[in-house]
């Protein structure tokens, strides 16, 4: 038999599990973390797609230099990328339109490679990426990428 002093020391048994308040607190904390993390994740993806486009533009510029050595001129206009035996990768073409336009008509010849964001894509806020025959890089009118 249990004495009265021992019975007063036994704590009431609490059922296992979480209360509704505890679950709601966890849900609110997770929602706050998601609200902070999601824009950062989207920004990270945007920078990655931009870097892929920039790398492709550098490859086009490299091929242009070889084309200049071989033909004494640059490949310009709508078919310039194809004339350089390059295919625009699908992860670039979904977000950017890459074209090679002649720079100001000068001697020696020159070119501008333009990476124009596709309207309505996540890259639309990037602005136009430019790379010229001198290696100058411009993004949205600001020097540097």
Q: Is residue 55 part of a domain?
A: yes
Residue 30 lies in a domain: yes
25, pLDDT greater than 90: yes
With a cut of 60, say whether residue 121 has pLDDT above it. Answer: yes
Indicate whether 12 belongs to any domain.
Answer: no
| Region for 131 from its dihedrals, namely left if φ exceeds 0, alpha if ψ lies in -120 to 50, beta otherwise | beta
From the list 89, 73, 80, 86, the residue with the least C-alpha distance to 114 is 80
Q: Tokens for 127?
A: 């602005």
**What pTM was estimated for this model as a whole?**
0.77
What's the domain count of the chain? 1
Name the least confident of 57-61, 102-106, 126-130.
102-106
Range of the domain at 35: 18-143
Is 92 part of any domain?
A: yes
Interacting residues of 50 by C-beta distance below 8 A, sequence separation 6+: 123, 126, 129, 145
Within a domain: 1: no
For residues 60 and 62, give the distance between their C-alpha atoms in angstroms, rounded to a whole number.
5
Give the domain CATH number at 75: 3.30.540
Residue 53 lies in a domain: yes
Reported as a single tens digit per residue, the pLDDT across 83-101 is 899 999 999 999 999 999 8
Q: What is the DSSP letter of 3?
A: -
DSSP-based three-state secondary structure for 33? helix
For residue 81, tell me if it sits in a domain: yes
How far is residue 126's CA from residue 110's CA, in Å, rounded to a whole number? 25
Q: How far apart are CA 99 and CA 84, in angstroms?
A: 12
Domain-embedded: residue 121? yes
Percent helix, percent strand, percent coil in the chain, to nearest 5: 50, 15, 35
Distance CA 96, CA 119 (A): 9
């Amino acid at each position: 038999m249990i004495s009265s002093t021992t019975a007063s020391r036994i704590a009431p048994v609490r059922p296992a599990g979480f209360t509704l308040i505890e679950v709601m607190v966890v849900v609110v904390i997770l929602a706050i973390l998601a609200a902070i993390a999601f824009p950062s994740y989207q920004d990270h993806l945007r920078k990655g797609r931009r870097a892929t486009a920039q790398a492709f533009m550098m490859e086009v510029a490299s091929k242009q230099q070889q084309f200049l050595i071989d033909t004494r001129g640059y490949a310009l206009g709508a078919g310039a990328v194809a004339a350089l035996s390059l295919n625009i990768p699908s992860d670039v073409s979904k977000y950017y339109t890459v074209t090679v336009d002649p720079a100001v008509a000068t001697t020696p010849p020159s070119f501008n490679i333009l990476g124009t964001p596709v309207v309505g894509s996540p890259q639309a806020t990037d602005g136009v990426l430019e790379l010229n025959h001198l290696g100058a890089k411009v993004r949205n009118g600001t020097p540097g990428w």
